[in-house]
Structures are given as C-alpha cells and as structure tokens.
Chains A and B, each alone.
Chain A
Amino acid sequence: DGGITQSPKYLFRKEGQNVTLSCEQNLNHDAMYWYRQDPGQGLRLIYYSQIVNDFQKGDIAEGYSVSREKKESFPLTVTSAQKNPTAFYLCASNMDRVGNTIYFGEGSWLTVV
C-alpha cells in the first residue's frame, strides 16, 4: 500500500549533535512538508518542497535543514543550532500545495538529553 514512512519513531539526541529524520513516500506526490508539533499547539511548518531539488523555508526553519534529491525522499536534519529541538515531528505529502488530500507519516519523537 502507498504511504509515508518516517523513521525513527523515537530518537534521543545529546546537546550539540545533529540528527536526521527520514521521510519516504511512495505516493508519487510532488509536494512534501515537515511540521513540528509542541504540546497544546498547532502544527508549524518547518520546510516544504514542491519539486525535486527545490525547497522553501516555512515559519520556523531556523536550526533545521532539508534536502530533496529524490521525489520520494525529504529528510530533515535538526542541527545543533536549533535551541529547543525536543518536539514531535511530522512529515506530510500531497500532489501539490493546494486543494488535495494531505497524507501524514506516523511522526518522530525527538528528545534532547
């Protein structure tokens, strides 16, 4: 079945380390997104990509980086510059940015220890 796969589900990071969260989709979607969710808050957009080799910053891109070398893959790196990285991270995709059903991965819980 088609879908979005995120990994790892749970990740612990020491302060000062970079970590990369994986997001893979086999839905042939052009658009992919990374969101961050903090307790009691709505999803906030970190980065999005509408096409291979192109991506745009969202509302809270500082301290994060992404790449889109393949249509299926949109990994997110949480760098040491991100001051408060402990959060739940969700990857999503849809055919394009507007007016289509959006599909979400299962999410990744990142905790800084």
Chain B
Amino acid sequence: KNEVEQSPQNLTAQEGEFITINCSYSVGISALHWLQQHPGGGIVSLFMLSSGKKKHGRLIATINIQEKHSSLHITASHPRDSAVYICAYVKNNDMRFGAGTRLTVKP
C-alpha cells in the first residue's frame, strides 16, 4: 500500500468547473508538498504546507494534520491547468510521493 494515497487517479472537467484533488497519508509529517507535472515531464512546486491553508491565484491547498489529509482545489479551471498533480509528504529526512492525479480540463 502506498504511504501516500491520492484520489481520484484521473479527473476530467469542463472549463470553469471547481476541482478538488485529495491526498491522504499514513504517518505524522513535517510538511506536505503539492506538485504539478506538465506533459513534458517537468515538475514545479505549487505549495508547501505545514498547517492550515494557502492560496495562490486560482489554486488553494488545505491540510488537516490531525486527520492526515490534504486537498488541492482549483477554482474556475482552465485547459492550461491540465497536468498531473502530485502530493508528497516530508517526514524527518524522507519524502514520499503519491502516484499523482491526472487532470484534463476540456474547453
């Protein structure tokens, strides 16, 4: 069993829809990252969370440390948001990655 579980694995949405991607993990952590991987393979870091909520443009990330759960929300989704979204947790000197959620936003 993966130590980081993401859902859904695949998500297709219409432009303008509100998107939610979920991430659950099984251990106490120092921080959680949300990453975006583009079709060419390059990865960028979207958020790093230790608690609460962060917002950047149309992206919002929340984390509940007690429940070991984080969500990534995209408001007013756009085709350029199409990518694989990966959550990863940091614990001590280790980082573990989820398998990713492939998001496709159709115009």
Contact = CB atoms under 8 A, between A and B. Distances in A.
Nearest to A92: B43
B45 A101 contact: yes
Contacts of B88: 42-43
B51 to A, nearest CB: 12
A104 B35 CA distance: 10
Interface string A80-113: 0000000010101000011111111111010000
Size category of the A interface is: 20 to 34
A97 B50 contact: no
A52 interface: no
Interface residues of B, number: 25
Contact of A104 (B40, B42, B96): B42
Q: Is chain B's interface secondary structure helix, strand, loop, or mixed overall?
A: strand
B90 interface: yes
B27 interface: no
A41 B92 contact: no
Contact of B40 (A45, A98, A100, A106): A106
A106 B40 CA distance: 8
B93 A41 contact: no
Contact of A43 (B44, B92, B97): B97
Contacts of A92: 43
A68 to B, nearest CB: 16
B99 A42 contact: yes
Interface of A: 33, 35, 37, 40-45, 88, 90, 92, 97-107, 109
Q: Which 3 A-B pairs have the closest CB atoms?
A: A42-B97, A104-B43, A107-B41
